[in-house]
Structure 1
């Protein structure tokens, strides 16, 4: 018979991301962030390849990136409101962790599975931050998918991409609960 962990299950059943724009200071110190990153790094990685890595963005880096997003958006002739929204994401943040998908050459583990692992790291990081008492939100935005931003602003290698940006800070207000999926509508039971 398995040994249940009711506290962990209750956390997962009630977890709720906090909108990034509602996160404020203080943010975790490096010492407080290390166990959160350690928990995220325990994600299954299909063959111990560790096909991901972290970039921790502190306040000054986020401000710099906001400017780079604004400049890139203008260069790409994106609509002003789209550019402003993504730039504000960086400008309003106080701490974010970029989860970088960094696939490794492998005959046994397809790249798609390595990308799934990077996505799992994002969720593990988000949940570890929430479980540690911080507010957290997983975002991306158009700039995350632009090679110029990834390589020039963040120093990613050509084979790497952003799996997600996890914003972490102090929750300034509790978000309302939102509707959740209808389990019956999304679940198929196969017995034979």
Structure 2
């Protein structure tokens, strides 16, 4: 090759042309795939993991309509992330939907629609309150009778555990809590 440098440069140019053609083909494939997705939509996407009751921190992103949930908050008209608190855990990168946010504050703010929050002051939990967290699934018992197995801890304030229970179980759970016979059992 030392006697014929033009052969060396010809091979280099040929290899460069092959690489350029490969890159152009891949870019064209990306553009074809993007056009197959159709229109895009502006949505809010969580900047970090957001726990129940925390303020929403999100960034506006353009996603293909097919990839954005139907209930996603519309970011095309809003210039700031949505106000309110997280009703449920939201993971980093997750699209924010209506059901994720509650405009209210207080123990009932994180309860799902169709649920009522009942305050339970269980003396057996006095030493364990620090290890509890909102969103933890629990069952409520009174005198050995299951009142509901579909409850979640909504908030913990001053040693009192606020439990979100379905509407149809709220009356019996509230009565047991009032008589101070309600106990929580932790469910997997």
RCO greater where, 1 or 2, for CA within 8 Å and sep 6 or more? 1
Q: What's the TM-score, normalizing by structure 2?
A: 0.19
Whichever structure has more strand as a proportion of its residues is 2
Whichever structure has more helix as a proportion of its residues is 1
Larger radius of gyration between Structure 1 and Structure 2: 2
